[in-house]
Amino acid sequence: MRVSALLLAAFTASFIPLVHSTQASGHASNYSTWMALSIMYREQGVLASSTDVSALLQAGFTQKAFTRLMKQYPHANSTQAIAQYIARSVDSVVGPVGNALQDITYPMDRLSSGNGLIDQYVKTQNDADLTSLMALRESINLNTRNANGGMWYYVYKNFSYLDGMYSLAPFYTSYTTHFDAYNRSAIADMMLQLDLLWTHCTAPNDTGLLVHGYDASKTAVWADPVSGASPHVWGRSLGWYTMALIDTLELLPREVYPKEWALLLTRFSRLASAVSKAVDAYSGAWWQLLDQPGRSGNYIESSGSAMFVYSLFKGVRLGYLDNRRSGFTDVAARAYEYIVDTFVVNNGNGTLGYNGTVSVCSLNSTATYEYYVGQPINYNSVLGSAAFILASLEYESARSL
Ligand SMILES: *[C@@H]1O[C@H](CO)[C@@H](O)[C@H](O)[C@H]1NC(C)=O
Ligand SMILES: *[C@@H]1O[C@H](CO)[C@@H](O)[C@H](O)[C@H]1NC(C)=O
Ligand SMILES: *[C@@H]1O[C@H](CO)[C@@H](O)[C@H](O)[C@H]1NC(C)=O
Ligand SMILES: *[C@@H]1O[C@H](CO)[C@@H](O)[C@H](O)[C@H]1NC(C)=O
Ligand SMILES: *[C@@H]1O[C@H](CO)[C@@H](O)[C@H](O)[C@H]1NC(C)=O
Ligand SMILES: *[C@@H]1O[C@H](CO)[C@@H](O)[C@H](O)[C@H]1NC(C)=O
Ligand SMILES: *[C@@H]1O[C@H](CO)[C@@H](O)[C@H](O)[C@H]1NC(C)=O
Ligand SMILES: CC(=O)N[C@H]1CO[C@H](CO)[C@@H](O)[C@@H]1O
């Protein structure tokens, strides 16, 4: 249900002063808060109806970005409005994900609201929140798997995608530490999912990058006959996977799971180096297909680029990456500034737009070069603008040091 015109008018009236106060305070929170308020103005990241399940990833991603925003700026004028919006987004998914058998008919993206549900339940002890987050957890056990235990991303037979890991790994980890602390097999399974993708999706030519996904049965038209891997390194899917590693490192208790934690760190560091090396030297940001730099039709894509900026900065901030040797923050800052100059649109009326985000790329396709570069490019996709909020928060945090 769309918010009524009256409510929207009231919201707009309260929104513009929030933008002005963010800017007037000369605050470093400029773009992160401003983009969040713009997403709120557009009513994005909230399910429009109980059947709007294609928006589950947008909702979960918005919740994660907004939660992080509140953590970084707990005393901003906009904090209360942002908290209310997170609650609205979480409430909008509670019904739709409340049944595990229903949940397994959705892609793995369904799990992206899991962390928001946990946070809300810890605060409110609301039964409906608990029911839904337990249904999501149960749906992991019910998810169809390939012969090695790798979860299918969706209904496509034996296909696993990097994309699913951002929704799965941080939720699986946080659920286990909150509600099921002695269940080491849950953490082992979470690690297995990340591991199977890591070992099957190795990109050719020793770049250290990972391709979009693999088909365990190796029957897809695009599948590598040995590994089952798909042919190309798609920026946003690698962005999801990289963010999954860094966010899981932050959530997994290092003292309880030292070996698992160390393995995640090794892989995150390798990926951070590979991603830094794959940056486009001219723009400073990342291609839609990282393995085909400069090829005709390929372009710099705004969601994947923002995800890499976030991951590199965050890895350095948490002390997981050696910045002195590799200059990760220089790479990330340059990319961020390019993103601001190229993709952020000032509408001149208090709102910001975000351009250059590719729509869905699926492996239920030919997965050819032409397919990936031919997918439509969206304006104001939350998959780009929420990634931009996360990138901005890290940039702002690095700048304030
Ligand atoms: C809140 O808004 C007021 C009025 O615009 C401004 O003076 C103040 O600096 C803002 N506070 C913060 C924390 O942004
Ligand atoms: C916010 O960003 C805009 C656009 O870059 C800039 O003109 C303005 O000075 C910034 N405001 C603050 C307070 O940093
Ligand atoms: C522990 O996790 C495993 C793997 O997800 C799961 O199969 C099992 O049901 C969990 N045990 C409990 C008691 O929840
Ligand atoms: C790997 O290298 C070959 C030969 O240089 C090149 O044709 C191919 O496009 C590269 N593949 C990837 C995925 O980078
Ligand atoms: C601001 O401009 C954008 C783009 O033109 C438009 O979609 C939006 O409705 C406008 N918002 C306000 C508050 O005027
Ligand atoms: C978004 O980017 C496309 C391609 O560069 C451009 O044609 C379009 O005008 C941009 N949209 C806005 C609102 O800036
Ligand atoms: C997979 O692709 C086929 C062929 O384009 C299409 O008919 C089918 O609807 C797709 N499946 C899903 C679930 O999108
Ligand atoms: C090769 C492979 O992993 N095939 C699996 C595809 O998924 C079905 C359903 O789980 C399994 O039974 C197959 O082993």
Domains and CATH numbers, the chain: 2-400 (1.50.10.10)
Q: Which protein residue's CA is at the shortest distance from atom 5 of ligand 3?
A: 186
Q: Please report the pLDDT score of residue 5 as a whole number.
A: 45
User: DSSP character for 109?
Assistant: G
- The reported pLDDT for the residue numbered 179 is 96
Per-residue pLDDT tens for 255-309?
999 999 999 999 999 999 999 999 999 999 999 999 999 999 999 999 999 999 9
Q: Tokens 């190796």 label which residue?
A: 218
Distance 341 CA to ligand 6 centre (A): 12
Q: Which mutation among 154, 362, 364 tests ligand 7's pocket best, with the greatest number of atoms within 8 A of CB?
A: 364
Residue of 201, 202, 205, 211 best suited for mutating to test ligand 4, as the one with most atoms within 8 Å of CB: 205
Residue 375 · residue 366 · CB < 8 Å: no
Mapping DSSP to helix (H, G, I), strand (E, B) and coil, where does residue 358 land? strand
Ligand closest to the CA atom of residue 190: 3
Residue 230 to residues 163, 170, 227, 321, 370, Cα–Cα distance (Å): 13, 25, 9, 29, 14
Please name the helix (run of DSSP H) or strand (run of DSSP E) that holds residue 144, with its range, or none. none
Best substitution site from 21, 29, 30, 32 to test ligand 2's pocket, by max atoms within 8 Å of Cβ?
Answer: 30
Rg of the chain over CA atoms, in angstroms?
20
Instruction: Express each pLDDT in 326-350 by its tens digit.
Output: 899 999 999 999 999 999 999 999 8
The HSE-up count of residue 220 (CA atoms within 13 Å, CB side) is 26
Is 16 exposed, middle or buried (CB count within 10 Å of its CB: 0-12, 13-18, 19+)? middle
Distance of CA 255 to the CA centre of its chain: 26
Going by alpha carbons, the residue nearest to atom 13 of ligand 1 is 76
Q: How far is the CA of 151 from the centre of ligand 8 (A)?
A: 10
pLDDT reported for residue 9: 52
In this predicted structure, what is the pLDDT of residue 1? 31
85 CA from centroid of ligand 6 (Å): 28
For 110-154, write each residue's pLDDT tens digit: 999 999 999 999 999 999 999 999 999 999 999 999 999 999 999
Model confidence pLDDT, tens digit, residues 87-112: 999 999 999 999 999 999 999 999 99
DSSP 272-320: HHHHHHTS-TTTSS-BSBTTSTT-TT--B-HHHHHHHHHHHHHHHHTT-
Are 112 and 61 in contact by the 8 Å Cβ rule? The answer is: yes
Which protein residue has the closest C-alpha to ligand 6 atom 8?
Answer: 355
For residue 29, what pLDDT is reported?
Answer: 59
**Pocket lining: 364 vs ligand 7, CB cutoff 6 Å:** yes
Long-range contacts formed by 175-183: CB under 8 A, 24+ apart: 175/114, 175/118, 175/133, 175/137, 177/251, 177/252, 177/253, 178/118, 178/122, 179/137
pTM (2 decimals)?
0.94
> Do 203 and 211 touch, CB atoms closer than 8 A?
yes
Q: Look over the chain and give the mean of its residue pLDDT values, rounded to a whole number.
A: 94
Distant-in-sequence, close-in-space partners of 284: CB < 8 Å, separation ≥ 6: 331, 334, 335, 337, 338
Contact 361, 375 (CB under 8 A): yes
| Model confidence at 220: pLDDT above 70 | yes
Q: Ligand 6, residues 298, 301, 355: which to mutate, most atoms within 8 A of Cβ?
A: 355
Mean pLDDT check: name the lowest of 91-95, 161-165, 180-184, 267-271. 180-184
Around Cβ 269, how many Cβ atoms within 10 Å? 17
> Quick check: 26 pLDDT over 70?
no
pLDDT score, position 4? 43
Share of the chain above pLDDT 70, in %: 94
Ligand nearest to the CA of 379: 6
pLDDT number for residue 6? 45
Ligand in nearest proximity to the CA of 11: 5
Least confident of 16-30, 126-140, 149-163: 16-30
Q: Whose CA is nearest to atom 12 of ligand 7?
A: 364
Q: What is the pLDDT of residue 30?
A: 82
Atom of ligand 2 nearest to the CA of 22: 13
